[in-house]
Amino acid sequence: MSTSTGSQTQAGRTRTPAIELRGIGKRFPGVIANHDVDITIESGTIHALVGENGAGKSTLMKILYGVQRPDDGTITVEGQQVTLSTPADAIARGIGMVFQHFMLADNLTVLENVTLGAEKLHGIGDAARARIVEISEQYGFGLDPDELVETLGVGERQRVEILKVLYRGARIIILDEPTAVLVPQEVDALFDNLRLLREEGNTLIFISHKLDEVRAVADRITVIRRGTTVASVAPAEVTSRQLAELMVGSELPSPSTGESTVTDRVLLSVRDLTVRDAPTVPGQTVGRAVLADVSFDIHAGEVLGIAGVEGNGQTELVEALVGMRRPEQGSVHLADQDVSEWSTRRRREAGIGYVPEDRHRHGLLLDSPLWENRILGHQTRPPSVRGGWLDVRGSRKDSTRIVEQYDVRTPGIDTTARALSGGNQQKFIVGREMSGDPVLLVAAHPTRGVDVGAQAQIWQHVKDARREGLAVLLVSADLDELIGLSDTIRVMLRGRLVGDFDPQTVTPQELGSAMTGAGDEETAR
């Protein structure tokens, strides 16, 4: 394992690296985000960047994209040392960034989304349409400029995001967790697109926690640990487990649940649950059914995994279970109690823990310190209250315990939630929800955006609680996680549960086929 430096010779020709970062350092109050980072990214390659949450990857990419200014070090782009003070500076140097969370307006067309803010390039008419078609055909995106974004699948939306940066002239493209919400078939299609981009001379920086995918698509992998580079390796030189050890410094367990702990006691019983969306057509009184006649049971000690392409009803199911949406029909029983008409607060007090899909919107008060976030959703129970009053001391003490037990990287519990990396925010939420001794945990994408070390910790906490009788509804886009943690997997398609699968025998490819409606029903168990 060695760190690649300088330029590279290929076919008798010396090429100038696309990016050279030397001695990059960035400090925030109480935190050293980056120190002495050295990375060389060769032109026309796919270069992966991996590391734990809080390791400094996001800060480093923000520096490269002009969002942050480094305190130390130099940045060289295509042989020229540069200062990148704003994203506009980065774009002018041919650097584009595709963020993990899509930045698209659903009610606009592909053309309108791509040209928004870039009208000076080709206008918003025929010239822009022709350029979009040209890029789409060149890289096999298959996008129609006049199609509304709200009609596109997740994989197609991602291609729109990539098209946006190419339209603006990017030759160096940063992709932040691009496969986080894709099914295996969509991942394969994305990788085909990335390889074609590489063949056309573009340089791609690929940030991901999915190490098997990193090894499958990258030409070079740089590992960052605690703010600095520790290795630069070729995929053929390492296994995924060795990469994980470089990232965290220790061997990691697999998600396998091991011996079954499923009991006969039903803790959650859902019958004929139907949820309708708000009407979208003027004069319409009833919206479409986003959840239709859904029924299932979860037993004590059981993890029921729900697989599905985003937008097929998983969000509505989760929100109906925790009381955030009122179903049109159906019932929800927790243990022996009908909770169908109960408020969210009453359901939480009855023992429903909730890890939300959108941690910023439903899981945290971003500008409040961690100890106040410990109270959020638990403001009627100890350790957040005592004798009817908020217990600040109890909340602070338990926040400290969560930080230590779940390895939340933070200067302290007075740090605001906003100051934490996404993965550390997620670890704090999981720690908070597991701390209330829930009987049922409703977990929507509990390890999305967290590194392999944090993922293993969360898996272990779920398995430990499962052995103690916790029932878990697990919604996840990570099919390996679903297969590894679940006792049973059900697929949700267009608001309905369409199949049961045995985690012991099903493959990610079979699940992916079922999720897209292309699966063979005979594979269902």
Average pLDDT, the chain: 87
Closest by Cα among 1, 48, 457 to 248 = 457
CB 218 within 8 A of CB 206: yes
Whose tokens are 């408020």? That residue is 343
Question: What does the alpha-carbon distance between residue 352 and residue 113 come to, in Å, rounded to a whole number?
Answer: 40
- pLDDT class for 7, splitting at 50, 70, 90? very low
pLDDT of residue 3: 42
Question: What does the alpha-carbon distance between residue 28 and residue 299 come to, in Å, rounded to a whole number?
Answer: 47
pLDDT of residue 42: 96
Closest by Cα among 523, 476, 17 to 255 = 476
**pTM for the whole structure:** 0.65
Rounded to 5°, angle at Cα 343 from 341 and 349: 115
pLDDT of residue 247: 84
Whose tokens are 């005592």? That residue is 386
pLDDT of residue 356: 92
Sheet with 496-501, edge to edge strand ranges:
352-355, 440-444, 471-475, 303-307, 488-493, 496-501
Q: What percent of the chain has pLDDT over 70?
A: 92
User: 486: Cβ–Cβ under 8 A, 6 or more apart, which residues?
Assistant: 257, 303, 304, 305, 474, 503
Whose tokens are 């935190």? That residue is 31
CB 219 within 8 A of CB 45: yes
What's the rounded mean pLDDT across residues 172-195? 84
Instruction: Give the other-Cβ count within 10 Å of 453's Cβ.
Output: 23
Whose tokens are 């487990």? That residue is 241
Number of helices (H), then strands (E), in the chain: 17, 24
Question: What does the alpha-carbon distance between residue 393 and residue 397 come to, in Å, rounded to a whole number?
Answer: 6
DSSP state of 1: -
Question: Strand 352-355 and strand 385-386: pairing?
Answer: unpaired
User: 87: Cβ–Cβ under 8 A, 6 or more apart, which residues?
Assistant: 65, 66, 67, 97
CB 170 within 8 A of CB 95: yes
Query: Over the stretch 466-519, which tens digit does the pLDDT of each residue have?
Result: 888 999 999 998 888 899 899 999 999 989 998 889 998 988 888 888 888 765
Q: 131 exposed, middle or buried (CB, 10 Å; 0-12, 13-18, 19+)?
A: buried
pLDDT of residue 416: 94
Q: 458 exposed, middle or buried (CB, 10 Å; 0-12, 13-18, 19+)?
A: buried
| Residue 123 CA neighbour count, 13 Å, CB half | 5
Residue 11 has pLDDT above 60, yes or no: no
Read off the tokens for 416. 């605001």
pLDDT of residue 409: 85
Which letter, b or e, does each residue of 172-202 get, where b requires 16 or more Cβ atoms within 10 Å of its Cβ? bbbbbbbbbbbbbbbbebbbebbeebbeeeb
Worst-scoring range by mean pLDDT, 31-35, 143-147, 169-173, 402-406?
A: 31-35
Pick the CATH number of 255-351+441-450+470-525 from 3.40.50.720, 3.40.710.10, 3.40.50.300, 3.30.2010.10: 3.40.50.300
Output the furthest CA–CA distance in the chain (Å, rounded).
Answer: 78
Beta bridge partners of 320: none
pLDDT of residue 103: 85
Read off the tokens for 284. 């319409």
Query: Over the stretch 365-399, which tens digit does the pLDDT of each residue have?
Result: 999 999 999 999 888 888 888 888 889 999 999 99
Rounded to 5°, angle at Cα 91 from 14 and 358: 115
Question: What does the alpha-carbon distance between residue 121 and residue 67 come to, in Å, rounded to a whole number?
Answer: 23
Which letter, b or e, does each residue of 37-62 get, where b requires 16 or more Cβ atoms within 10 Å of its Cβ? bbbbbbbbbbbbbbbbbbbbbbbbbb
Residue 2 has pLDDT above 80, yes or no: no
Sheet with 31-41, edge to edge strand ranges:
31-41, 19-28, 72-77, 80-82
Rounded to 5°, angle at Cα 491 from 485 and 497: 130
Question: What does the alpha-carbon distance between residue 87 and residue 277 come to, in Å, rounded to a whole number?
Answer: 38
pLDDT of residue 412: 93
Query: Over the stretch 408-446, which tens digit does the pLDDT of each residue have?
Result: 889 899 999 998 877 789 889 999 999 878 999 999 989
Query: Over the stretch 93-121, which tens digit does the pLDDT of each residue have?
Result: 999 998 877 888 889 999 999 999 888 88
Residue 190 has pLDDT above 80, yes or no: yes
Read off the tokens for 183. 């099914």
Query: Over the stretch 289-303, which tens digit does the pLDDT of each residue have?
Result: 889 999 999 999 999
Residues of the chain with CATH 3.40.50.300: 45-60+85-246, 255-351+441-450+470-525
CB 271 within 8 A of CB 334: no
Question: What DSSP assignment string belongs to 224-236?
Answer: EETTEEEEEE-GG
Question: What does the alpha-carbon distance between residue 464 and residue 262 come to, in Å, rounded to a whole number?
Answer: 13
CATH classification code of 45-60+85-246: 3.40.50.300
Question: What does the alpha-carbon distance between residue 9 and residue 121 come to, in Å, rounded to a whole number?
Answer: 35
CB 117 within 8 A of CB 151: no
What single-letter amino acid sits at 265? R
